[in-house]
Structure 1
Amino acid sequence: MDTEMTSEGVAFAKQMLADDHAAEAMGIRLVRAGIGSATLAMAVTASMVNGHRMTHGGFVFALADTAFAVACNSYGRTTVASGGAITYLESTALGDELIAEAVERTRRGRSGVYDVTVRRGDDVVAEFRGNSREVRPRA
């Protein structure tokens, strides 16, 4: 694992991911984290495949959304999605290793826009755009 530790914010984002039981259950792994960026990986398992023997889109979305979450929380402030959309470009299947790369496009005040590309090898299988909003942490 090539994890880049450049700030306390990145440590905050990594801890958020470590506490994410949904991501853990899906086998999502951190590959790299930086300020405003993150790369995560996930292997498609039998429980992620739909009736067409393809990866259920919800799992691809969840991987992209989790990469987005790590990237937008890398400033060390509790940040959540205010919206997200995905375009599926290729199907994936059992055994495929998916890599999601999130990059910050812009941040203004408490809001941000992030793009996530999901790949299987060199093939782009989905593009995700997420909008973030910093919130007050829950007590």
Structure 2
Amino acid sequence: MFDSDCASKALGIELVDLGAGHAQTTLTVTEAMVNGYGITHGGYVFLVADTTFALACNSYEDSAVAARADIRYLRPTRVGDVLVATATERSRFGRNGLYDVTVTVGEQVVAEFRGDSRTIPAPPNR
């Protein structure tokens, strides 16, 4: 799935680790990603968490999409910061899954994301 994810790759998201129900990615914040306050626009933090969630819930043979997702921003980040997003599966049952993604910069947690997944029929190119 990540091989075909043009949006994530264009932004510089890199896959670090992938396993059953688990994924880790990184994103380095660039000048194009900050808002008028000089901090990372929340959409980019959400995007790296969402990409990592997608990788984790698609780490099985079933294709999955997001049914719901939300995020809590805890600390601001700035140009040059390396966001590390780590997704962990909390539960998987029937067509549903529940995943938590923690986004850090160094030792500091900057955001917590939770996503619900739903399996779908495999797309034709998968």
Asked whether the two chains share a fold, i.e. TM above 0.5, the reply is yes
Q: Deviations over 1:16-70 (max 9, x none)?
A: 1111001011100011011000000000011111111000000000000000000
- Using structure 1 for the length normalisation, give the TM-score: 0.87
Alignment partner for residue 87 of structure 1, among 44, 62, 72? 72
Please name the residue that 1:64 is paired with. Answer: 49
Task: Give the aligned partner of residue 119 of structure 1.
Answer: 104
Q: Tell me how far apart the structure 2 counterparts of residues 55 and 106 of structure 1 sit (CA, whole Å).
A: 31
Task: Work out whether 1:137 is the aligned partner of 2:122.
Answer: yes
CA distance in structure 1 between the aligned counterparts of 2:122 and 2:33, rounded to whole angstroms: 32
Take 1:109 and 1:73, find their aligned partners in 2: how far apart are those partners? 14
**Mapped partners of 2:47, 2:60: distance in 1:** 21
Alignment of 1:109 with 2:94, yes or no, is yes
How far apart in 1 are the matches of 2:123 and 2:57? 17
TM value normalised by structure 2 = 0.96
Percent identical: 52
User: Matches of 1:75 and 1:58 in 2, distance apart?
Assistant: 27
Runs ≥4 residues deviating over 6 A: none
Matched, 1:19 2:9: no
Residue 137 of structure 1 aligns to a residue in which SS?
Answer: coil
Cα distance in 2 for residues equivalent to 1:94 and 1:131: 30
Q: How far off its partner does 1:78 sit?
A: 1.0
Deviation at residue 76 of structure 1 after TM alignment = 1.9
> 5+ unaligned residues in a row in structure 1: which ranges?
1-15
Paired residue secondary structure (2:54): helix
How many residues in Structure 1 have an aligned counterpart in Structure 2? 124
More strand by share: 2
Q: CA RMSD in A?
A: 0.7
